[in-house]
Amino acid sequence: MPYRSMTITEVAQMLGVDVRRLDRMAQRGEIPSQKVGGQLRFNRAEVTEWLQQQMPELSRSKLADMDAGIGANRQADIQETIISPLLRTEAITAHLDARTKNSVLKELVALAQETNLVYDSETLLEAVIRREELCSTALEGGFAIPHPRRPQPYTVAEPVLVIAHTTQSIGFGAPDGRLTDLFFLTCSQDDRHHLHILARLCRMLHEIQFQNQIREAATSDQIVKLMRARELEVISDTL
C-alpha cells in the first residue's frame, strides 16, 4: 500500500540506516515524519517522494546501503538483477532526435509504448510531465531519470525502462547547469520496486566512465550489453 504509515524500524530497514540516526534525522526535520501517540510515524508516499529527491545526492556507499535496504524490504536476493530484466531493445535508442524538454518526454513515452507494456501512454506522459514541473529529474553529469511521482499500477502492465541518447544535448534543468543528453525513463507499479530501480540506476550511473560508454554506443544492443555488465559490477561491489 503506497500511502500507509511506516514505523521508524521499517523506514530504517528500507534506507539501510541505523534507527538512532533516522530518529535524529526526523528530529531535525531532514526526513518527513509525524508524531502519533508519542511515536514517530512515516507516510510511505512522503518517504517515497523524499527518497526520489535525495538519491542523486548520495555517496556511492550510501547508495549501496539503500539499494541493499530496499532490496531486503522487498525480500529480494542481494544478487538479483533488477535493471537487466527491464532492458528491451525496442525501448532503447542511441540516436534520439529530440531538441526540447517536452519533445524528449514525448519520445521517451513513445519508446515505452513500443514494449506493449503501457496501457495508457497519455496518462504516463502527463504523470512524467507533472513530475518535471515539480522538480527536474536532470542530474549532474548530463543525464536525467524521468519518472512519475507515484506508482502507476493502471498505466503499465510491468515495470518499464527506456534509455535514450539524444543527438543534441538539451537544457533539462540540471543543478550544475550542464545540458542533458542521456535519459532513463522508468515507471513501476509499486513504490518499493520503483525506489529499488532508482537506487540501482543511481549506483550504476555514479561512474562517469560508464556514462560516456553509453554515449559512445552506436546501437541499442550495445547499450543493453553495457547496462547488463555494469549492473553485475555494482552487485559484485555489494557482496
Per-residue pLDDT of the chain (239 residues; tens, 9 = 90+): 445 788 999 888 877 788 998 999 999 998 999 998 889 999 887 888 888 778 877 888 888 888 888 888 888 888 899 999 999 999 999 999 999 999 999 999 999 999 999 999 999 999 999 999 988 999 988 999 999 988 899 999 999 999 999 999 999 999 889 999 999 999 999 888 998 999 999 999 999 999 999 999 999 999 999 999 999 999 998 76
Cell 531532514 found at = 30
Supply the pTM of this predicted model: 0.89
Is the same domain home to 112 and 230? Answer: yes
Q: Looking at the domain assignment, is residue 121 inside a domain?
A: yes
Is there a domain that residue 70 lies in? no
In a domain, 123, yes or no: yes
For residue 3, with 0-12 CB atoms within 10 Å meaning exposed, 13-18 middle and 19 or more buried, which class applies?
exposed
Secondary structure, 3-state, 173-197: CCCCCCCEEEEEEEECCCHHHHHHH
- Specify if 91 maps to a domain: yes
Give me the sign of the Cα torsion angle 3, 18, 82, 146: positive
The confidence score (pLDDT) of residue 70 equals 87
Residues 117 and 174 both lie in one domain: yes
CATH number at residue 182: 3.40.930.10
Same domain, 179 and 229: yes
Question: Which residues lie below 8 Å from residue 173, measured CB to CB, with a gap of 6+?
Answer: 101, 132, 136, 138
Q: Residue 51: give its domain's CATH number.
A: 1.10.1660
Name the residue range of residue 29's domain.
5-57
Q: Could you give the CA distance from residue 1 to residue 152 in angstroms, rounded to a whole number? A: 13
Residue 73 domain flag? no
What pLDDT, on a 0 to 100 scale, did the predictor assign at position 97? 94
Number of separate domains in the chain: 2
